[in-house]
């Protein structure tokens, strides 16, 4: 049986984040769905079964992340789980020199995770329990041409989450979920034409975001003394 938890999901306005919100709310948890596009979040909350609260959030804004976690704690008395899912994948070769896109990936994928950890850890410490679920990627385990910076950010997600696991107080659970190719808007934001073309072939075999949501739900719903540390979920047909 699921015990209802207070769960904050970042990057909840589309793709994996939206599927995670729908799944966790349907499982009986109270979910705070955060992203910048609040119109999308309102629609998600309206179409979800269960308890979903909407919050406008840019994860790169440390003060805003801290304020949101404080608001959740003030309203609900606790924060049980942070699903750090917000991410961007702006693939290009390094010699294309798209330095602003490198910065954006570092800001959202790495600083966004760190901002979430900084905000959530005091709550987890006060409660003597908590759970960080990071959405990394197969890019946390491999590098291909055009993925250097994206893969670097996802290696960082892996390293930060594993470092937290090793340092954590008893009671804090830490999970890294690494998806392969999943249907979402992720590749639509790529501006480099070569990387975009290469992605069309690479992303031909994909799985729905609900497959990742099911993995997140599995990790969260384990008993408190069971910590699902790392899962890679690829389409069966995905190579490499
Ligand atoms: P989407 O592009 O569909 O979703 C990305 C989400 O991140 C959106 O909700 C977006 O919301 C949010 N986001 C982007 N920038 C910010 C920001 N500054 N602050 C807050 N939220 C932000 O892609 P996916 O669902 O696929 O991606 C989710 C995660 O899964 C990412 O971390 C991605 O790297 C990872 N992943 C995805 C894979 C895939 O094949 N789909 C494979 C491996 C990993 P908004 O713009 O409204 O703020």
In a domain, 148, yes or no: yes
In a domain, 15, yes or no: yes
Q: Which residues contact 152 (CB under 8 A, 6 or more apart)?
A: none
Q: Looking at residues 208-235, what average pLDDT do you find? A: 98
In a domain, 231, yes or no: no
Report the CATH number at residue 89.
Answer: 3.40.50.720
37 CA closest ligand 1 atom index? 47
Summarised one tens digit per residue, pLDDT across range 185-203 is 999 999 999 999 989 888 9
Domain that holds residue 124: 6-223
Counting the structural domains of the chain, the total is 1
Q: Which of 201, 185, 220, 189 is nearest to 24 (CA)?
A: 220
Q: Residue 130: CB within 6 Å of ligand 1? A: no
The answer on pLDDT for 2 being more than 70 is no
Establish whether 150 is a catalytic residue: yes
> pTM above 0.75?
yes
Rounded Cα–Cα distance for residues 7 and 21 (Å): 9
Q: Which pLDDT score is estimated for 86?
A: 98
Summarised one tens digit per residue, pLDDT across range 121-169 is 999 999 999 999 999 999 999 999 999 999 999 999 999 999 999 999 8
In a domain, 95, yes or no: yes
In a domain, 236, yes or no: no
Cα 10 to middle of ligand 1, angstroms:
9
Q: Which pLDDT score is estimated for 239?
A: 81
In a domain, 238, yes or no: no
Q: Are 44 and 52 in contact (CB under 8 A)?
A: yes
Cα 170 to middle of ligand 1, angstroms:
30
Q: Looking at residues 23-48, what average pLDDT do you find? A: 98
Q: Which residues pair with residue 177 across a beta bridge? A: 135, 231
Which residue in 150, 177, 180, 216 is the catalytic one?
150
3-class SS of residue 168: coil
Cα 239 to middle of ligand 1, angstroms:
22
In a domain, 240, yes or no: no
189 CA closest ligand 1 atom index? 2
212 CA closest ligand 1 atom index? 30
The answer on pLDDT for 1 being more than 60 is no
Summarised one tens digit per residue, pLDDT across range 36-95 is 999 999 999 999 999 999 999 999 999 999 999 999 999 999 999 999 999 999 999 999
In a domain, 216, yes or no: yes
């Amino acid at each position: 049986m699921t015990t209802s938890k207070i769960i904050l999901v970042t990057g909840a306005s589309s793709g994996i984040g939206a599927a995670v919100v729908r799944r966790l709310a349907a499982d009986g948890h109270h979910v705070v769905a955060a992203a910048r596009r609040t119109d999308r979040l309102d629609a998600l909350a309206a179409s979800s079964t269960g308890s979903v609260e909407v919050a406008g959030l840019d994860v790169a804004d440390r003060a805003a992340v801290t304020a949101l976690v404080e608001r959740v704690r003030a309203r609900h008395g606790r924060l049980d789980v942070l699903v750090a899912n917000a991410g961007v994948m702006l693939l290009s070769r390094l010699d294309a020199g798209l330095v602003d896109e490198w910065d954006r990936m570092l800001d959202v994928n790495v600083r966004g995770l760190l901002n979430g950890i900084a905000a959530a850890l005091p709550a987890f410490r006060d409660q003597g329990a908590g759970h960080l679920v990071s959405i990394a990627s197969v890019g946390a385990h491999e590098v291909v041409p055009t993925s250097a910076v994206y893969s670097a950010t996802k290696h960082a997600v892996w390293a930060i989450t594993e470092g937290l696991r090793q340092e954590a107080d008893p009671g804090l659970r830490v999970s890294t979920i690494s998806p392969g190719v999943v249907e979402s808007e992720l590749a639509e934001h790529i501006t480099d034409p070569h990387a975009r073309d290469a992605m069309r072939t690479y992303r031909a075999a994909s799985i729905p975001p609900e497959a990742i949501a099911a993995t997140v739900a599995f990790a969260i719903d384990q008993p408190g003394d069971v910590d699902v540390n790392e899962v890679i979920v690829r389409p069966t047909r995905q190579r490499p």
